Amino acid sequence: MQLRKNIPAVVLVHGLWLSGWCMALIAWRLRRCGFRTYVFSYRSVRRGLRENAEALRAFSDSIEGRTVHFVGHSLGGVVIQTMLACCPPLRSGRVVTLGSPHAGSYSARAFARVSWGRRMLGASIADLLRGELPTRDLAREIGLIKGHLPIGLGRLFPGLEKPNDGVVAASESSLPGAADEISLWVTHTVMLLSARVSVCACQFLRFGLFVR
C-alpha cells in the first residue's frame, strides 16, 4: 500500500455536458504510463465555476500520495484553472489541458445568443462568458494541448477564428504563463480518443514539456 502511495496520481476532469466515463480511455492510457488515475465528475450545467472548482479541490484532497496531477478536457481545464486560482491544492503536481477555452469561447457566445442556448450551456459557461476567471498567478507547470482539425459544432457559427479544433480556437485555448503547448491534428472531441494526445499528456506530466 505504501508503494502505491508513491506512484503519482492524476485527476481527470471532463468537459461540458459529459461525465467521468468519457475520460476512461485517457485514464487507461495514463495508467499504462505509470500513473494512478482518478476521474472527477461534476455538474457542468447546474453549478458555477467556483462551486465546481471547490468540489474538485475537495476531491483531490481525498487522494493519498505526495503528487497529484490534473488533466482537463475543454471546460474541465477551466475548472482546474479556477481551482488553482481560488483554492489551490497544497500538494505539488502538473496540469495538462485539452482544448480548454481559457480565454473565452466564441462558439459558446454565439450559442448563448438565444435563451434556450444559454440554458443548455448552464452556469459554468455563463461564468466563463462573463469573464469571471481569476487572473492571479496559477503557480503550476501547465501544458496546453490544442487541436487544429476544424470539424465540429463551431462550424454552425461562422467567424470562429482559425486555427481551431472545430469548437475552440487555438487563441482561446492559450493561457499566459503556460510552460509549454503543442498543436495536434485532432478535433475537439477526438482529443478524448487520440493515442497521440494521451502520449503528449504523459510526457508533460513526467517531464514538464512536450517531446516533439
Q: Is the Cβ–Cβ distance between 74 and 167 less than 8 Å?
A: yes
- The whole-angstrom separation of Cα 160 and Cα 195 is 27
What is the model's pTM? 0.94
Per-residue model confidence as pLDDT tens digits over 56-103: 999 999 999 999 999 999 999 999 999 999 999 999 999 999 999 999
- Strand order of the sheet with strand 180-184? 36-40, 9-13, 68-73, 95-98, 142-147, 180-184
**Beta strand extents in the chain (DSSP E only):** 9-13, 36-40, 68-73, 95-98, 142-147, 180-184
3-class SS of residue 202:
helix
**Sign of the CA dihedral running 157, 26, 66, 181:** negative
Domains, the chain, ordered by start? 2-207 (3.40.50.1820)
Q: In this predicted structure, what is the pLDDT of residue 117? A: 82
Q: Is the Cβ–Cβ distance between 116 and 45 less than 8 Å?
A: no
Residue 154 DSSP one-character state: G
The four Cα atoms 183, 201, 77, 177 give a dihedral, to 10 degrees, of -70
Q: Which residue has the cell 494541448?
A: 145
Per-residue model confidence as pLDDT tens digits over 18-40: 888 999 999 999 999 999 999 99
Average pLDDT, the chain: 92
Q: Is residue 137 predicted with pLDDT exceeding 80?
A: no
- The whole-angstrom separation of Cα 177 and Cα 102 is 12
What are the b/e assignments for 190-206, b being 16+ CB within 10 Å?
bbbebeebbebbbbbbe
Per-residue model confidence as pLDDT tens digits over 139-180: 899 999 999 999 988 777 788 999 999 999 999 999 999 999
- The whole-angstrom separation of Cα 166 and Cα 185 is 11
